[in-house]
Amino acid sequence: MSLDDIAIIVMSLTGSFGLATLVYMSKVLTQIINKKRSYRSIGRRGIASFLLSVIFMTGLGFGMYRIPYLLGHHPSWSQLTEWGPPSLIPAAITLYASMVIFYVYSLLIAYFPQQNEKSWFYLGTLSILGGASNTLIIFCINIAISGSRAELSKMFLYFTLALTFYIISQVLVRKKLISIANELIYTKRMTMIDIFLRSPYNKLEKIESGRIYSSLNNEMEIISEFANTLITVLTSSITLIGCFVYLGVLNLYALLLLLCVLVLIVLVYQQQSGKLDAIWEKVRDLQNTFLDYIQDMVGGSKELSINKKKSKQFRGDIEASCNDYMEQRIVGEVKFAYVTILSEISFIIIIGAVVFLFPYLFKSLDISTMQSFVYLFLFMIGPITVLSSAVPNMMQMKISWQRINQFMSDLGSLQISQTDSAKLTTGAQPNQTSLELIDVHFNYTSDNGESFMVGPINLRFNPSEISFITGGNGSGKSTLAKLITGLYSPTKGEIRINGNLVESMQLGEYFSTIFSDFYLFKRIYGVDMKQKSPLVAHYLKLLRIEDKVEVKDGAFSTVKLSTGQRKRLAFLVSYLEGKPFCLYDEWAADQDPEFRQYFYEVLLPELKKEGKCIIAITHDDAYYDVADQLVKMEFGKLQKVERCKVGISRANQLIFSNNLNE
Ligand SMILES: Nc1ncnc2c1ncn2[C@@H]1O[C@H](COP(=O)(O)OP(=O)(O)OP(=O)(O)O)[C@@H](O)[C@H]1O
């Protein structure tokens, strides 16, 4: 290839690049004019960076000016034009001009940033130029080593420029990509959390907690490595491509030999990747199982620390799970290691082949060209190792990405949009809201093929009434409660509020609930706490926990209380929520006899007086006469529905009224 050809190629490439940059720059300028970008004060560090960048650009200009000196016998541009082709000067000018345009573009987007700006063009260019400057470094070293002292001093300028640019590009690209990757993780995490929060309970119930933790945390952490991997892959690939070109110029056969070996490595990788995918999928499943055990260990810490035999057996199980996880990881990582070793060894073999075979194959090869080969190959080992170790990371990321998406689709994102804005659509008021279940059916289908059916249920719950749901263990009371509150959707039948059909996902809006396995948040969510302090203070006193807890800034001072006390706080929250329906699942089971009586004979009637419809699951037959309606369940069916003549027969209401007046 003649010097003229090279100059024309350089001119066309850099010219197109300069034009493309101008297009992007005009977009940025328009955004600045339209106030879609605003100036960001740069501070002292910014001024220092700006001055350094000016020094670098001046150095680059000087480097361009000194190019003729590289060619030895033609030390100035004027002599070079007499000797060389006419395209040389336009090529050099285009090259430098495109650099200057890109520099100005970089300054614009740095000083007039846009929120969440990705600027792929900027990042891509910087990475490519970074890779190219890396190749220039080895080029400079090679020339300097194989040349005279005069060559050494000439190359030092270009070596310094290439190294400086490499450092700058790495810092800028890494900084930007790290924030892009973390923003991406943040968005994905929040999307998952949103999907989780809006997904129907019956779907969430079926997902193992280990899978939830690993999707939200572990898999996300793996993906967050994507910025680093992307940068190293990009820079290493560009460096390698530059090395290939340089090698091709030195000796075409050496390049062919290298390409053959690389094709071999890629084939081995491809052949292995299917197997590796399967292995890593299995690793992740085992990780989820292990996380489930951790959840059990934390949740069951009481039981495990009391009972040593239980703890020993549990340890055996968790050890087995940990061991399976470890063994499968070893299998996967060893397979990756084989391929990495293969790629490293291949390079040593290439170097050996060049040193020991090439002198016989190509008699005309001189020692300095051989040295250049060896230096070049040694230099290439770095990027090749980086690339081969990036492959396992990329495969891991691919698997994590697929698993996260699978998790999200399992949660059923489709249902979200339909139920996004659940509101009290029936104009419900606490003292006039009734609920009706008409021919409601539901059935569980468990993995072992067993099923349990609830229904047909025909029931009505009226405002200012207390209904008790009773029945033996496993008779379907909690399932019915989940249907009433919309946690489960009926497989057949309908639920109406004030005569209006209501979707299951909207039912919860009408309810304050305390299930037997309730969770008490430290913060009181979903309640506007403004001007509620007197009410809160009054209820804390009424619930007899005023000396234990206080509410500050919408949160409890502590939730580290006894189970019964925490239930009282949950009751306070349910009261503050002010919903027309209250559902309590065996609320009084953890209360002392005195407070249990207080609950049935004082607290519930008070809610009733406020017009609320109270539905309570209970085994406390001593208080059945408090109810206006008694529902008895058996084997998932209504065995008896009794309307009680007198709702509250106890005189203790008076005590309550007196308490309130205190
Ligand atoms: N998540 C579930 N998946 C599958 N089947 C379930 C599930 N929960 C409950 N069941 C089945 O439904 C039946 C009724 O359970 P439910 O919790 O409604 O009973 P319950 O009357 O509330 O009992 P208890 O008084 O013990 O709380 C159980 O016997 C069980 O077979």
- Could you count the other beta carbons within 10 Å of the beta carbon of residue 27? 12
CB contact set of 135 (below 8 Å; sequence gap of 6+): 238, 239, 241, 242, 243, 245, 246
Could you tell me the fold of the domain covering 118-415?
A: ABC transporter transmembrane region fold (1.20.1560)
Instruction: Supply the pLDDT for residue 20.
Output: 94
Burial tier of 590 (Cβ tally within 10 Å: 0-12, 13-18, 19+): middle
Instruction: Supply the pLDDT for residue 421.
Output: 42
Task: Indicate the top mutation candidate among 205, 444, 518 to test ligand 1's pocket, ranked by most ligand atoms within 8 A of CB.
Answer: 444
Residues 285-295 have pLDDT tens digits of: 898 889 889 88
Residues 381-408 have pLDDT tens digits of: 788 878 877 877 888 888 888 888 888 8
Q: With 80 as the cut, is the pLDDT of residue 597 above it?
A: yes
User: Of the segments 62-76, 260-274, 398-412, which one has the largest average pLDDT value?
Assistant: 398-412
Q: Averaged over 326-338, what is the pLDDT? A: 85
Ligand 1 binding pocket (C-beta < 6 A) is: 205, 444, 446, 452, 471, 473-479
Instruction: Supply the pLDDT for residue 72.
Output: 63
Distance from the alpha carbon of residue 558 to the mean position of ligand 1, in angstroms: 32
Distance from C-alpha of 537 to C-alpha of 545, rounded to nearest angstrom: 10
Distance from the alpha carbon of residue 439 to the mean position of ligand 1, in angstroms: 20
What integer best gives the mean pLDDT of the chain?
Answer: 83
CA-proximal residue: ligand 1, atom 13 (nearest): 474
Q: With 70 as the cut, is the pLDDT of residue 482 above it?
A: yes
Q: With 60 as the cut, is the pLDDT of residue 584 above it?
A: yes
CA-proximal residue: ligand 1, atom 26 (nearest): 473
Among 174, 164, 128, CA closest to 49? 164
Q: Are 165 and 238 in contact (CB under 8 A)?
A: no
CB contact set of 302 (below 8 Å; sequence gap of 6+): none
Distance from C-alpha of 559 to C-alpha of 487, rounded to nearest angstrom: 25
Q: Mutual orientation of helices 252-299 and 367-411 as an angle, nearest 10°?
A: 30
Among 558, 617, 624, 545, CA closest to 582? 617
Instruction: Supply the pLDDT for residue 656.
Output: 38
Give the burial string for 390-425 (b: 16+ CB within 10 Å, else e). Answer: bbbbebbbebbeebbeebbeebeeebbeebeebeee
Q: With 60 as the cut, is the pLDDT of residue 415 above it?
A: no
Q: Averaged over 52-59, what is the pLDDT? A: 92
| Residue % of the chain over a pLDDT of 70 | 92
Instruction: Supply the pLDDT for residue 226.
Output: 78
For residues 619 and 3, which has the higher predicted lDDT (pLDDT)?
619
Q: 496: which strand partners?
A: 436, 501
The ligand 1 atom at the shortest distance from the C-alpha of residue 472 is 25
What DSSP letter does each residue of 80-119 carry, written as one string?
A: HHHHS-TTHHHHHHHHHHHHHHHHHHHHHHHHS--TT---
Task: Indicate the top mutation candidate among 478, 482, 637 to test ligand 1's pocket, ranked by most ligand atoms within 8 A of CB.
Answer: 478
* Token pair recorded at residue 582: 């209250």
CA-proximal residue: ligand 1, atom 28 (nearest): 474
Distance from C-alpha of 439 to C-alpha of 459, rounded to nearest angstrom: 9
The ligand 1 atom at the shortest distance from the C-alpha of residue 445 is 4
Model ipTM value = 0.97
Q: Are 256 and 224 in contact (CB under 8 A)?
A: no
Q: Averaged over 322-326, what is the pLDDT? A: 92
| Residue % of the chain over a pLDDT of 90 | 27
CA-proximal residue: ligand 1, atom 9 (nearest): 479
Distance from the alpha carbon of residue 205 to the mean position of ligand 1, in angstroms: 13
Task: Indicate the top mutation candidate among 202, 447, 451, 452 to test ligand 1's pocket, ranked by most ligand atoms within 8 A of CB.
Answer: 452
Instruction: Supply the pLDDT for residue 92.
Output: 87
Q: With 60 as the cut, is the pLDDT of residue 658 above it?
A: no
* Token pair recorded at residue 84: 């060389």
Distance from the alpha carbon of residue 493 to the mean position of ligand 1, in angstroms: 20
Our separate counts of H helices and E strands in the chain read: 24, 12
Range list for CATH 3.40.50.300 in the chain: 435-661
Instruction: Supply the pLDDT for residue 659.
Output: 41
Among 98, 128, 109, CA closest to 176? 109
Residues 209-240 have pLDDT tens digits of: 778 888 888 888 888 777 778 878 887 888 88
CB contact set of 436 (below 8 Å; sequence gap of 6+): 459, 460, 461, 495, 496, 497, 499
CB contact set of 420 (below 8 Å; sequence gap of 6+): 198
Distance from the alpha carbon of residue 487 to the mean position of ligand 1, in angstroms: 14
Instruction: Supply the pLDDT for residue 94.
Output: 93
* Token pair recorded at residue 145: 């080593």
Distance from C-alpha of 424 to C-alpha of 427, rounded to nearest angstrom: 6
Residues 356-367 have pLDDT tens digits of: 877 777 777 777
User: Of the segments 114-118, 526-530, 556-560, 656-660, which one has the largest average pLDDT value?
Assistant: 556-560
Instruction: Supply the pLDDT for residue 326.
Output: 92
CA-based R_g, the chain, Å: 37
Q: What are phi and psi of 107, to 5 degrees?
A: -65, -45
* Token pair recorded at residue 95: 């090259």
User: Of the segments 37-41, 118-122, 474-478, 527-531, which one has the largest average pLDDT value?
Assistant: 474-478
Task: Indicate the top mutation candidate among 209, 475, 637, 638 to test ligand 1's pocket, ranked by most ligand atoms within 8 A of CB.
Answer: 475
Instruction: Supply the pLDDT for residue 303.
Output: 79
Residues 633-642 have pLDDT tens digits of: 999 999 888 8
For residues 465 and 245, which has the higher predicted lDDT (pLDDT)?
465
For residues 321 and 657, which has the higher predicted lDDT (pLDDT)?
321
| pLDDT-based confidence at residue 455 (cuts at 50, 70, 90) | confident
Distance from the alpha carbon of residue 510 to the mean position of ligand 1, in angstroms: 24
Distance from the alpha carbon of residue 447 to the mean position of ligand 1, in angstroms: 15
Range list for CATH 1.20.1560.10 in the chain: 118-415
Q: What are phi and psi of 323, to 5 degrees?
A: -70, -45
Distance from the alpha carbon of residue 377 to the mean position of ligand 1, in angstroms: 68
- What is the SS3 assignment for 461? strand
Could you tell me the fold of the domain covering 435-661?
A: Rossmann fold (3.40.50)
